[in-house]
A and B are shown apart, each in its own frame.
Chain A
């Protein structure tokens, strides 16, 4: 059964949102390539970056097919990644934040991996076959990302006084960006209200469990940062795109 939303722009925007989250996260992770605190962890983050870019490709390829079907445009996965401007990107602000130190990198990874994991678990059951297939494929990879990042949160939180301080600082720095993950944009209506609640509850439960083992606390502050899902970004995204898109902007269509 085909869902009604299939060719409408909300569904396409939703695919772009999913792709943008994965692509920008991938780019941030790739910044650690060659800079990890230990070879194994450098390799872990670059592996996660590779999985994320693979997931982004699947979302963009699917979005490109639907865009081209419903218009005269000739979009490709590459044009969607490299030729859109910051205001076209629909990723959550959390994924574009700078990596900071290892603690902040780990914390962001954990918060986002937990979110993507529970989101994809639900998406693999939706009626749109291709999106469900991408989600089912991706959730297997997320399983690894989530376990790795959760282990590190526990290790650093329940580690030395220095590592604990770094994690506490990281939580203070990024927590206000987590609310946006669950502020439902209009184009997210493909997820039923029940699904949205389920994802949010599973996420907060996971965070509480892991923070509990890590002797870390969830902040009381309700201050919320928002905008990314609607294309209103922090200045950081511009810098990411300037670096990521430079080659295709300067040498359109170049391949290697």
Chain B
């Protein structure tokens, strides 16, 4: 029987589920796993627990979310779990503040600048100093607040002349 003590094992398992668009990041790094719980089922004869994983979308239109749910399901099935449910919640709204430090480090080495500072309203990207993930220079400027995916903005480095993606605060 899977018990509450196995929740740790599930968190560990989820580390191997990656974001389909930024494969270096796991769903844990992204901060989209809100809870992992073994819930005792209500039917009479059973000491069985249902595994309930709650995830939250990064952006409302992010097509990666459905993909991520499917990947979590197949990871769980591979590991022998059958009785589980993956729920989505909108509240509280996802923020880049939930991204792990390891995640930010992985982003940088992948060539994407990590979110700088904390998420708050009226964040004006063009006024931020975003270090270039290639050369580290802070002599960079914003090209566009929108990029190749919902979560990224486009920047260019004025030092090494390379364009780069910035994972924007949200």
A47 → chain B, closest Cβ, in Å? Answer: 4
A15 → chain B, closest Cβ, in Å? Answer: 14
A52 touches B (CB below 8 Å): yes
What does DSSP make chain B's interface, helix, strand, loop or mixed?
A: loop
Stretch at the interface among B28-36, B57-65, B71-79: B57-65
* Residues of chain A within 8 A of B62, CB atoms compared: 50, 54
Docked pose: A141 CA to B119 CA in angstroms? 12
B45 touches A (CB below 8 Å): no
Q: Are A55 and B60 touching (Cβ within 8 A)?
A: yes
A143 touches B (CB below 8 Å): yes
A64 → chain B, closest Cβ, in Å? Answer: 15
In A110-132, which residues have CB < 8 Å from any B CB? 129-130, 132
Task: Given A51-B59, A57-B60, A143-B123, check contact A40 B146 (CB 8 Å).
Answer: yes
Task: Given A40-B144, A43-B148, A143-B123, check contact A136 B60 (CB 8 Å).
Answer: no
Interface size classification for chain A: 20 to 34
Docked pose: A52 CA to B89 CA in angstroms? 18
Docked pose: A148 CA to B147 CA in angstroms? 13
Docked pose: A133 CA to B89 CA in angstroms? 9
From the candidates A44, A134, A141, name the one contacting B90 in the complex (CB within 8 A): A134
| A26 and chain B: residue at smallest CB distance | B61
Max count, chain B CB within 10 A of own CB: residue among A44, A47, A52, A134: A47
* Residues of chain A within 8 A of B92, CB atoms compared: 136
Task: Given A50-B150, A147-B124, check contact A141 B144 (CB 8 Å).
Answer: no
A246 touches B (CB below 8 Å): no
Binding site for B on A (CB under 8 A): 40-41, 43-44, 47-48, 50-55, 57-58, 129-130, 132-134, 136-138, 140-141, 143-144, 147-148
9 closest Cβ pairs, A-B complex: A54-B61, A54-B60, A133-B91, A50-B61, A40-B144, A44-B146, A133-B90, A47-B146, A137-B93
